């Protein structure tokens, strides 16, 4: 066995919607420079769907092994990617290594069991988990899976929140228990994802939380950028109907267009105050266990941000009727998606054709208005 002597592996498991992309983008952007400070962020990936900023192929390879119906993703086997990561980490000579993908927080104990193979190769392993209050996570995560290319879901929000897999994903204590079973409770590093905690920024907090060398932050500045911002719920609803019709779209361009239109958009929130409280009560015991076990908080309070009612959420939002979404929804979107697909095929660098796409979208302005 070739053990990585005196080396620490950080397995960053998310959760989703906790600035994971911000952290991953920083690590990927400075991958070569970080080696000088003793930090290896291995490539592992063979696809470039996410620009190789995170280890989604690694997660996908585990899903393939765990899927009863056979291979779901076109990626190499886990064993191949596992050994590739070890080879790169050893070659770097770094005392720190990081593997990061929010998919690792999915509600399946087999993920932690597969990743446990790393135990024989490192002196120390830390499982790093950022947790967002369940009601806020649910709203943000829903908007993401609706517009995400790999999922393109079509369920309305009120149905999505009742799904068994959604409920399991909100059970943070259960998922952390699976990781603790494989790596030991002392290996679990938890931080609530709340504004007053994530200061001055998520990357700096990640370095301080895990003990990564602060000198790297001094030399490699953290850019003040945001990623995966949730669009207003009307735009998410538009995407949902497009998903149901099988339409393709480039969500960044489409969101940008709709935000600049005069459509009456409201908020990114969906839940009523009563439903927020109900969700948090369902996971109260688990949250208290996390607070006491991993944060050593005697009061058992995991999330300190007050629960409140948001504008336009007197009742939990159930979506819009098709005629409310767009006057000429599917014909217009069909033409838009075909044009965007054509342009993307001609030039994969979408930024260079953004103006051409935008001019096309403007031709449809007037038709794409949400009716009251």
Residue found under tokens 């079509």: 154
For the chain, what are the domain ranges? 4-132+170-219, 233-267+320-363
User: What is the predicted pLDDT for the residue at 48?
Assistant: 47
Burial of 6 from C-beta contacts in 10 A (0-12 / 13-18 / 19+) = exposed
Nearest to 178 by CA among 105, 121, 119: 105
> For residue 107, what are the contacts with CB-CB under 8 A and spacing of at least 6?
165, 168, 169, 171, 174, 175
Taken in order 29, 42, 56, 206, is the CA torsion positive or negative? negative
What's the residue count for the chain? Answer: 372
CA dist 60 → 97, 108, 291 (Å): 20, 13, 30
User: What is the predicted pLDDT for the residue at 357?
Assistant: 45
- Cis, bond preceding 111 (omega within 30 deg of 0): no
Q: Is 208 helix (H, G, I), strand (E, B) or coil?
A: helix
Residues of the chain predicted below pLDDT 50: 48-51, 327-332, 335, 349-372
Query: For 51-169, where are the E strands, in sequence order?
Result: 96-100, 122-131
pLDDT tens digits for 279-316? 999 999 999 999 999 999 999 999 999 999 998 899 99
User: Whole-model pTM?
Assistant: 0.84
Residue 178 CA from chain centroid, whole number: 20
Mean pLDDT (the chain, rounded): 82
User: What is the predicted pLDDT for the residue at 370?
Assistant: 36
CA dist 331 → 256, 257, 334, 355 (Å): 20, 17, 5, 22
Residue-wise burial string across 28-42, b where 16 or more C-beta atoms lie within 10 A, e elsewhere: bebbeebbebbbbbb
> Within 13 Å and on the Cβ side, how many CA atoms surround 239?
27
CATH 3.10.20 corresponds to the domain 4-132+170-219: no
The number of beta carbons lying within 10 Å of the beta carbon of residue 244 is: 14
User: What region does 356 belong to: left with phi over 0, alpha with psi -120 to 50, or beta?
Assistant: alpha
User: What is the predicted pLDDT for the residue at 330?
Assistant: 44
The number of beta carbons lying within 10 Å of the beta carbon of residue 53 is: 21
User: What is the predicted pLDDT for the residue at 238?
Assistant: 77
User: What is the predicted pLDDT for the residue at 364?
Assistant: 39
**CA-to-CA distance for 321 and 46, rounded, in angstroms?**
41
User: What is the predicted pLDDT for the residue at 12?
Assistant: 98
Instruction: Describe the strand order of the beta sheet including 96-100 as a list of residue ranges.
Output: 39-40, 96-100, 4-12, 122-131, 188-192
């Amino acid at each position: 066995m070739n053990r990585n002597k005196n080396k620490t592996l950080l397995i960053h498991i998310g959760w989703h919607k906790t600035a994971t992309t911000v952290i991953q983008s920083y690590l990927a952007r400075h991958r070569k420079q970080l080696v000088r400070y003793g930090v290896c962020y291995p490539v592992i990936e063979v696809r470039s769907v996410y620009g190789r900023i995170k280890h989604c192929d690694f997660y996908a390879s585990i899903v393939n092994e765990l899927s009863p119906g056979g291979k779901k993703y076109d990626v190499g086997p886990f064993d191949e990617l596992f050994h590739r990561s070890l080879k790169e980490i050893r070659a770097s000579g770094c005392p720190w290594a990081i593997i990061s993908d929010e998919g690792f927080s999915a509600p399946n104990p087999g993920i932690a069991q597969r990743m446990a193979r790393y135990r024989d190769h490192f002196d120390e392993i830390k499982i790093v988990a950022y947790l967002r209050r369940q009601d806020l996570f649910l709203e943000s995560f829903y908007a993401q899976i609706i517009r995400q290319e790999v999922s393109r879901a079509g369920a309305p929000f009120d149905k999505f929140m009742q799904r068994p897999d959604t409920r399991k994903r909100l059970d943070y204590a259960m998922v952390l228990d699976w990781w603790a079973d494989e790596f030991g409770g002392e290996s679990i590093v938890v931080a609530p994802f709340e504004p007053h905690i994530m200061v001055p920024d998520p990357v700096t907090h990640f370095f301080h939380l895990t003990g990564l060398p602060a000198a790297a932050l001094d030399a490699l500045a953290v850019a003040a950028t945001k990623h995966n911002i949730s669009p207003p719920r009307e735009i998410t609803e538009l995407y949902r109907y497009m998903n149901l019709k099988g339409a393709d779209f480039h969500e960044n361009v489409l969101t940008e267009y709709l935000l600049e239109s005069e459509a009456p958009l409201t908020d990114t929130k969906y839940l009523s105050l009563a439903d927020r409280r109900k969700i948090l009560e369902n996971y109260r015991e688990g949250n208290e266990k996390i607070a006491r076990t991993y944060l050593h908080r005697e009061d058992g309070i995991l999330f300190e941000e007050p629960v409140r009612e948001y504008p336009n959420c007197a009742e939990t939002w159930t979506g819009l009727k098709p005629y409310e979404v767009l006057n000429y929804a599917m014909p217009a979107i069909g033409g838009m998606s075909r044009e965007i697909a054509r342009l993307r095929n001609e030039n994969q660098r979408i930024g260079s054709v953004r103006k051409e796409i935008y001019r096309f979208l403007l031709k449809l302005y007037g038709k794409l208005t949400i009716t009251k």
